[in-house]
Amino acid sequence: MKIWKNTPKDSVLVGLSLAQFAVAPVLAITWDTVSLPARVAGGVLLTLMTTYNIIVVSHLFTHVPWFVSDRLNAVVSVVNSVNIGQSVQAYQLTHVRNHHRFNNDRQGPDGTTRDASSTYRKGKNGQHEPLLSYALGGAVDSVAGRIRDVASTMRLWKVGQGEERLLSLASRRERRRIRELRQIQADRAAHCLSLVVFAALSWQWTVLCYLPGFFIALTLVNVQNYYRHYGANPEDRATDSVSHYNRVYNLLTFNDGYHQEHHLSPGTHWSRMPEVKERQRARLEAQPRIVSPVPALLGFLDRRRPLLHEVTAESTP
């Protein structure tokens, strides 16, 4: 019987998911018995694990689920919804069906972007929004969304009134749509119940460690997304993202650095990203594009990055 949809290599991602799922309650339980340095180390660990899960683990899962079984994939979605503090199914809808459809577009005639996570959404004069505003403002918006999720307990965490964006992104095929919306409901319930468990284990850890770590993780994820697109040309599908080809980084992040290739073929499994690069070589080399010497999370260190978006903006009539 076939278990893995693509490759048994995805078992490593499953292991990382389960490891984080186990680490969080352990940190909560031991909060009162460990030293201050250990508490700080635990907070840093949790923050990094959450950041890594959103950027790598859950991101890969939303594009290419790991299992043949829909039930197993549903369990993974629930587990990682606890890990990242938000519904993985909702993440899939907003990321795969919105971001990868409109690819960090500029503002249109209506003064906004079609990509809700676009770095141009609140920018001025065709420029990216400033990093600090994008990273911190996006984190605040995400936290506000999670508060709304928690408050939706009265309707059993269903997608309801005021969530037109999610409803519009859900499948139009009735059976699939029902499955997606029910998965969001299950993800939200798991996340909210996990907060109750964490608070019961240690409300001090929840307030002083988990919640600040969650906010910092969201901020770091926004920094990552910002520099995955900063300076790139949003008018060309082959130059609208930034790649980073360091072998060690891509080994540790399951080829996360192949971001331009990922944009060209978002449904391709992570293990085949180098193949996409070779297959698209002629298209990628046809005109200038950005290849960063550092990972996107450290994109602010790339001082020599060309600003292709300024050139294309000037040439647009």
Q: How confident is the model at residue 311 (pLDDT cuts 50, 70, 90)?
A: confident
Asked whether the predicted pLDDT for residue 200 surpasses 70, the reply is yes
Q: How much is the pLDDT for 314?
A: 60
∠259-260-265 over CA atoms, to 5°? 95
From 23-32, 108-117, 146-155, 298-307, the region with the lowest mean pLDDT: 146-155
From 139-148, 155-164, 182-191, the region with the lowest mean pLDDT: 155-164
Give the residue carrying structure tokens 């969530």.
163
User: 243 pairs with which residues across the strands?
Assistant: 291
CB atoms under 10 Å from CB of 279, counted, come to: 15
In whole angstroms, give the CA distance from residue 192 to residue 316.
Answer: 47
Largest CA distance in the chain: 65
Residues 253-300: tens digit of each pLDDT: 999 999 999 999 999 999 999 999 999 999 999 989 999 999 999 999
Q: How confident is the model at residue 11 (pLDDT cuts 50, 70, 90)?
A: very high
Q: How much is the pLDDT for 151?
A: 87
Q: How much is the pLDDT for 4?
A: 97
Asked whether the predicted pLDDT for residue 317 surpasses 60, the reply is no
Asked whether the predicted pLDDT for residue 218 surpasses 70, the reply is yes
Cα separation of the two ends of the chain? 58
What is the arithmetic mean of pLDDT over 218-225?
98
Q: How much is the pLDDT for 154?
A: 79
Asked whether the predicted pLDDT for residue 312 surpasses 90, the reply is no
pTM for this prediction: 0.95
Asked whether the predicted pLDDT for residue 152 surpasses 90, the reply is no
Give the residue carrying structure tokens 């992040």.
253
Selection from 27, 10, 80, 94 nearest residue 50 by Cα: 80
Residue partners of 31: CB distance under 8 A and separation at least 6: 39, 42, 202, 204, 205, 209
Give the residue carrying structure tokens 């192949």.
258
Share of the chain above pLDDT 70, in %: 98
